[in-house]
Amino acid sequence: MIVRTKEMNSKSNATLLRNSKNPRAPLLIYTSLALVFFVAALWAARVSVAQKQAVADDFYPAWADHAQYLQPLRVVDTDSALGRRNLHPKNITLKEMARMHGHLCDGLVTSWVQLNVALRLLFPDGVVDRTDLRIVSRNCPCCVDAGAWMTGARINQGTLMLDNSVGVGFIVQRISTGAAVRVSQRPGFYPAPLAELEQSIRTRCAQGESASSTAIDRFEDGADEYSRKLLNTPPDQAVIVERLADYHFPDHSQNPIATRSDTINRDAPRTMPQPAVTQQR
């Protein structure tokens, strides 16, 4: 046992007094505080970035990331507004297209798969020249976005023709060679009950009635299930391909205009309340 004497306490107090008068002590305190604030700010920034990433990527489900037959598409464009053709190709992905389009949907996935089949046939070297294409698409919000983005075809340049008679599919033509292919959906691949449900929702909306939240939920679940199946199926089992000899691209002045159809339920109530910050599925 140590017994502190008066003399020891006196020496100890003197030492404390000397330390408190150390001219470097305030600097050490300020440096320590600055370090603590820096670490706290760094942590807060990392949490904020992680939250933003979770919110920003919520539109794209994890099952699409791991789909068996999903690959990037290699494309070339031009270097600038007056530029030459790119020297090196770039990759574009379904996820980037979903971000551009606004959501991942069955129409977008179907278009991605069908156009991939057509483009890989027209460009056997695997690099798609988006300066050398024109297409025919039916007028639906998802397939027209996909067609324009994946091929470089545009309504305003007369290279994207809208024709509802092509059905669920596209006609794609390589301008420089004239080679053309038609791609369409293999009958029976899209579930008939899902098509009926979609039609019933559209009919109700067209009649000015609101669709039920459960019906919208059931359609979204079914559409996701279909998209997942499509991305995990060999494309030749889901897509019919037909080469078109001497194909003449139609008159682009006949483009039929239609109102946007993928926003008709934007104000419908949700079945379940959504969390403020959602995590990636």
Q: Pick between residue 108 and residue 216 the one whose CB is nearest to Zn ion.
A: 108
Judge whether 79 and 86 are in contact, CB under 8 Å: yes
Minimum distance from residue 116 beta carbon to Zn ion (Å)? 17
> Which H or E element spans position 170?
strand 169-174
Minimum distance from residue 71 beta carbon to Zn ion (Å)? 21
Please pick, from the candidates 64, 75, 94, 142, the single residue that binds Zn ion as defined by CB under 5 A: 142
Interior angle at CA 121, CA 120 and CA 125, nearest 5: 60
Confirm or reject binding of residue 105 to Zn ion (CB under 5 A).
yes
Which positions ≥6 away from 152 have C-beta within 8 Å?
75, 77, 130, 131, 133, 159
Minimum distance from residue 37 beta carbon to Zn ion (Å)? 46
Minimum distance from residue 103 beta carbon to Zn ion (Å)? 5
Q: Which of 71, 73, 87, 185 is nearest to 133 (CA)?
A: 73
Q: Binding segment for Zn ion among 115-123, 137-145, 199-207, 239-247 (CB under 5 A)? A: 137-145
Number of residues that bind Zn ion (CB under 5 A): 4
Instruction: Give the integer Cα–Cα distance in Å for 76 and 89.
Output: 5
Minimum distance from residue 146 beta carbon to Zn ion (Å)? 9
Q: Pick between residue 107 and residue 147 the one whose CB is nearest to Zn ion.
A: 107
Q: Which of 213, 205, 220, 211 is nearest to 259 (CA)?
A: 205
Instruction: Give the integer Cα–Cα distance in Å for 214 and 165.
Output: 32
Q: Binding segment for Zn ion among 104-112, 131-139, 197-205, 265-273 (CB under 5 A)? A: 104-112
Confirm or reject binding of residue 97 to Zn ion (CB under 5 A).
no
Q: Which of 130, 112, 131 is nearest to 72 (CA)?
A: 112
Report the site for Zn ion in 108-127 (rule: CB under 5 A). Answer: 108
Q: Binding segment for Zn ion among 11-19, 98-106, 203-211, 227-235 (CB under 5 A)? A: 98-106
Which residues would be at the binding site for Zn ion (CB under 5 A)?
Answer: 105, 107-108, 142
